[in-house]
Chains A and B, each alone.
Chain A
């Protein structure tokens, strides 16, 4: 089309499509950012550990890893704790997700908030809450003694069970949301259809619903497992040395031994473990299940993993058996409850499910509130019930400059992070949501990968990357690292809003004579503004609550609020922390409620 023809010339300008690489410009800032701040540092970490050429890392560290049984014991611990966490999160979260996916839209939206609220509440705050609940002088021991079930305090804290409680509590929302995304694609008429054909609840559930929800279960299991691998707050504060997890060792090497190279070697062990888990998952189930299950549209073109195929063979027998067992229970119950066709059943399976879910939601959202009364105690330690009433711990917070500085820094870093993440994330989301291009799935996976990789690996990789650039202990270093973590949330939120946006509105504006920039500013932006505000707030909270990267990058100089809380908690969990946590709880709850509010008005 290089020749200018008469007809085209008469239009005044020669219109043609720009080459495809030029049209991808909205993607490039975010892509470049991810390559520089994420892909390059992580790859370099991998490279160093494999080839050890630069001298900062040699095989010496790996020999040390192999020679001492300690590290493999810790790895075994980590896998053990992560495995149980994943299993318990699925068992506890499945009924919640099931109820959410089968209930009315409005009930669902308000219940999801109860699942989300703890998800966004600081890990630190929630862990403190469990200390208040489970400690020797905690709420549970106190209750048990006052009703006479036990004579003296029993040890719940600093054990495997308390670590499990904390981890499951922390990660169950993730499991619920992941399973929910798959369950929502299941046709709501399938169970009723099974009932009309003569299936009892049990048969309909196990033979029809359960197999269809399995991709969600598998994805939730993987995400929870991988996330657990990088956990350190919960095992450090709620566990004993026997529950030490691999991330704690990394932090110990950095904080106490100052042995950065060896910390790098251990993170490699974690990274390799994660990659092996991903690989096994892909071989067994196929990665496609991670992206929201087998989409119904793809006719038979779904790649099935070995386990998925194997499931069909023996799975049918298992589900049939489970269906029969639940039916026996149901029949027994019908006899006891005396079901009759002339009156409504007094207790249905549905009400049992509601009760179960209510208990789960209390487990998820309840504990954080126990921290509030403790912050008003007159005593210098955490006990239950607290002896009221004193504001001195709040005064202590505001009198100490370290807290005020930390709070100010966290707010500053959070706002700048959110702004930066929006600046590079929003154009990318537009492109990802609206354009079809080769490798779109891969691009999306790349954008979301900072969420999936254990944070500690990113932290260690950034540490190596920053050190020669002098970014350690700087706010810029923190901001860049936090932007990396906030970016996926921005992309997810904005893409979700754009998915519901009727693009014909833009086309209508163009057809009425508006230039693309005017369409964007006068039509698109006002309509998606609530979604953008929500994305901004999510990004802000991500940064405001972040500890892992802050632990490595702040280097005791640029201390953020979570870092200061962590440093304090390592010494002793005091009422000052309860006061800080209460303030944080209120602040984050307000921000999240605002974000939810804006996101919901965007959906209208």
Chain B
């Protein structure tokens, strides 16, 4: 990362007694697609609004392209923004909507015509120039909103849940379209969503937010396979939490004992040291748990009885009651009918030591 496109340091905002964002810092590189992901009220929109200059922070700094912009007005920040409801100007034609940022920059008419035509071709809507926004479908309006942002090549494009108003099918399609535009044009995108799938599909990095602060920042893989908190593990994908106690630490391995007395080996994560005797959580993704036949063996084994089998479609879910009374889920690809398994049948689940993550802290 040569020079960060966007840098925020210790950004803070409160509304009366409500803390909207309590000291967040992050950097974005050129051409990066970073997603602010989190439940509503987690501070992601507040952060976006402060970067856009539409909300004024209480303290902290915002740097865009190496220029201090903390309290600079929006129009001087060289940013673009796509709003959830698109915010297309209803009284202006599509052409005038896209021309607006260029007019604000004093671009001459010939160049405006050329640029507007270029971006309309890019989003594959070359023939809608003279229509009013309300005459377009939701998906088309979304594309026009994107085109209006791309046309003036701002340093960074902010997107505030831009797919929120679309139906599922269109959303899936637009997700890929935005991803392709990002790759094609090399634009820097800061994207806000509460939809984990959107974040996973499009992002280079995800900034997971919770309770007015950054919970974890990393690539989608990192967040999925190495969540650092219970919240992170829970918010992205499905997860099983095993209450365990640390028995022994030896080099790369941690030996833990579960509630039913069985012991497991888990990879030792040096960044989060644990000590003998600590009560922690071992998190295992359902798809990492495999049903194993009697006589077969695995590095770690959980014994239990089957509560329920559910055929979801491409995958089948096995709800298994462990000996200590807790329930875990195992997910496997659907290979055939599951009639053979009966309720309360004895089940053995096996997994590898690198597939579990030790979590400490709140709720552990």
Write out the residue numbers on chain B whose beta carbons fall within 8 Å of the beta carbon of A192.
52, 54, 74, 81, 83, 87
A197 contacts B80, C-beta separation under 8 Å: yes
Contact at A198–B105, with CB atoms within 8 Å? yes
Distance in angstroms between the alpha carbons of A203 and B68 in the assembled complex: 24
Tell me if B71 and A342 are in contact (CB < 8 A).
Answer: yes
**Does the CB pair A189–B83 fall under 8 Å?**
yes
CA distance A187 to B84 in the complex (A): 12
Verify B53–A299 contact, CB threshold 8 A. Answer: no
Nearest chain B CB to A103's CB is how many angstroms away?
15
Q: Is A515 an interface residue (CB 8 A)?
A: no
In the complex the two chains form, is A212's CB within 8 Å of B71's CB? no
Residue A504 CB within 8 A of the other chain: no
Judge whether B134 and A296 touch: CB under 8 Å: yes
Within 8 A of A (CB), among B75-94: 75, 77, 79-81, 83-85, 87, 89-91
Complex: chain B residue closest to A343, CB-CB: B71
Contact status of A197 and B101, CB under 8 A, knowing A189-B85, A300-B132, A342-B70: yes
Q: Which of A189, A199, A341, A342 has most chain B Cβ within 10 Å?
A: A341
Number of interface residues of B (CB under 8 A): 36
Q: Is the CB of B70 within 8 A of A341?
A: yes
| Residue pair A211, B104 in contact (C-beta under 8 Å) | no
A197 touches B148 (CB 8 A): yes
| Most chain A CB atoms below 10 A, which of B54, B91, B135 | B91
Decide if B87 touches A189 in the complex (CB within 8 Å): yes
B319 at the interface (CB under 8 A from A): no
Cβ 8 A contact of A341, one of B54, B71, B90, B152: B71
Min CB–CB distance A344 → chain B (angstroms): 5
Query: Chain A interface secondary structure, helix, strand, loop or mixed?
Result: loop
**Residues A341 and B68 in contact, CB atoms below 8 Å apart:** yes
* CB closest chain-B residue, reference A300: B135
For residue B291, CB closer than 8 A to chain A, the reply is no
Contacts of A300 in B (CB 8 A): 132, 134-135
Question: Any chain B CB within 8 A of the CB of A193?
Answer: yes
> Residues 459-482 of chain A: 1 if any B CB is under 8 Å from the residue's CB, otherwise 0?
000000000000000000000000
Question: In chain B between 16 and 37, which residues have their CB closer than 8 angstroms to a CB of chain A?
Answer: none
Within 8 A of A (CB), among B263-299: none
Give bound CA distance, A602 to B115, whole Å: 52
Within 8 A of B (CB), among A161-196: 187, 189-190, 192-196
Interface contact A212-B75, CB-CB below 8 Å: no
Given contacts A189-B87, A341-B68, contact A199 B75 (CB under 8 A): yes
Question: In the assembly, what is the distance between CA of A62 and CA of B48, in Å?
Answer: 70
The answer, among B67, B74, B77, B90, for a CB contact under 8 Å with A212, is B90
Nearest CB in chain A: distance from B157 CB, A? 10
Q: Does B72 contact A (CB under 8 A)?
A: yes
Known contacts: A194-B100, A196-B79, A198-B104. The answer to whether A187 contacts B85 by CB under 8 A is: yes
Q: Hey, what's the 0/1 contact readout for A196-228 against B, CB within 8 Å counting as 1?
A: 111110010001100110000000000000000
Does A345 make an interface contact (CB < 8 A)? yes
Complex-state Cα separation, A344 to B13, whole angstroms = 13
* With A192-B52, A342-B68 as contacts: A198 and B85 at CB distance below 8 Å: no
Interface size class of A (residues with CB under 8 A): 20 to 34
A16 at the interface (CB under 8 A from B): no
Complex contact B75–A193 (CB within 8 A)? no
Answer yes or no: B233 CB below 8 A from chain A CBs: no
Cβ contact within 8 Å between A187 and B104: no
The chain B residue sitting closest to A186, CB to CB, is: B90
Q: Give the residues in chain B near A604, CB-CB below 8 Å.
A: none
Q: Give residues of chain B (231-268) contacting chain A, Cβ–Cβ below 8 Å.
A: none
B67: chain A residues at CB < 8 Å are 341
CA distance A344 to B81 in the complex (A): 22
Distance between Cα atoms of A192 and B51 in the complex (Å): 13
Which of A199, A299, A342 makes the CB contact (< 8 A) with B104? A199
A187, B87: Cβ atoms closer than 8 Å: yes
Q: Is the CB of A106 closer than 8 A to any CB of chain B?
A: no
Q: Which residues of A contact B134 (CB under 8 A)?
A: 296, 299-300
> CA of A340 to CA of B72 in the docked complex: distance in angstroms?
7
Give the distance to chain B from A280, nearest Cβ to Cβ, in Å. 23
**Cβ of B56 and Cβ of A195 under 8 Å apart?**
no
B220 to chain A, nearest CB (A): 27
Complex Cα gap A338–B148 (Å): 32
Contact A198 B87 (CB under 8 A): no
The answer for the CA separation of A194 and B71 in the assembled complex, in Å, is: 18
Q: Smallest CB–CB gap between A311 and chain B, Å?
A: 10
Instruction: Tell me if A344 and B71 are in contact (CB < 8 A).
Output: yes
The digit string for A327-367, where 1 denotes a CB below 8 A from any CB of B, is: 00000000000011111110000000000000000000000
Chain B residues with CB under 8 Å of chain A are: 52-54, 56, 61, 67-75, 77, 79-81, 83-85, 87, 89-91, 100-101, 104-105, 132, 134-135, 148-149, 152, 158
Ordered nearest first, which 8 A-B pairs have the shortest CB separation? A195-B74, A197-B101, A193-B87, A198-B104, A341-B72, A189-B87, A196-B81, A189-B83
23 inter-chain pairs at a CB distance below 8 angstroms, sorted by A residue, are A187-B85, A192-B54, A192-B74, A192-B81, A192-B83, A193-B81, A195-B75, A196-B77, A196-B80, A196-B158, A197-B100, A197-B104, A198-B75, A198-B101, A198-B152, A207-B100, A211-B91, A296-B90, A339-B73, A342-B68, A343-B71, A344-B56, A344-B71
